[in-house]
Amino acid sequence: MSRVTELLGSRYPIIQGAMGVICNPELVAAVSEAGAFGLLATAFAQDPEAVRSQVQATKKLTNKPFGANLFVMNPLAQEFAKVFAEEGVKTVTVSGGSPKALIPFLRELGMKIIVVVPTVGVAQGAEGLDADAIVAEGAESGGVQGLKGVSTMVLVPAVVDAVKVPVIAAGGIGDSRGYKAAMALGAEGVQVGTRFIATKECIANAMYKERIVESGDTGTGLVDMGRFRIRALRTQLVEKMIKGEMGPDNIFTPAAVEAAWVKGDLEAGVLPAGQVAGLISGIPAVREIIEEMVSLNRRREG
Ligand X SMILES: Cc1cc2nc3c(=O)[nH]c(=O)nc-3n(C[C@H](O)[C@H](O)[C@H](O)COP(=O)(O)O)c2cc1C
Out of 72, 134, 185, 273, the only residue in the binding site for ligand X (CB under 6 A) is: 273
Any contact of residue 176 with ligand X (CB under 6 A)? Answer: no
Span interacting with ligand X, options 216-224, 235-243, 270-278, 293-301, rule CB under 6 A:
270-278
- Name the residue among 196, 198, 222, 204 with its Cα closest to residue 260: 204
**210-217 — which CB contacts under 8 Å span 24+ positions?**
210/283, 211/235, 211/271, 211/273, 212/273, 212/277, 212/280, 213/280, 213/281, 213/282, 213/283, 215/273, 215/277, 215/278, 215/280, 216/278, 217/275, 217/278
Asked if residues 180 and 155 have their Cβ atoms less than 8 Å apart, the reply is: no
CB of 32 to ligand X, least distance (A): 16
Per-residue x/- track, 83-122, ligand X (CB under 6 A): ----------x-x--------------------x------
Give the residue with the Cβ less far from ligand X, 138 or 245: 138
Any contact of residue 194 with ligand X (CB under 6 A)? Answer: yes
Any contact of residue 17 with ligand X (CB under 6 A)? Answer: yes
Any contact of residue 228 with ligand X (CB under 6 A)? Answer: no
The residue sitting closest to ligand X, measured at its beta carbon, is: 193
Helix axis angle, 176-184 relative to 286-294, nearest 10°? 40
Grouping H, G, I as helix, E, B as strand and the rest as coil, residue 163 is coil
CB of 228 to ligand X, least distance (A): 12
Span interacting with ligand X, options 73-81, 102-110, 154-162, 268-276, rule CB under 6 A:
268-276
Q: Measure the CA–CA gap between 152 and 186, rounded to whole angstroms.
A: 12
Chain residues in the site for ligand X (CB under 6 A)? 17-20, 41, 43, 69, 71, 93, 95, 116, 137, 140-143, 170-173, 191-195, 272-274, 276
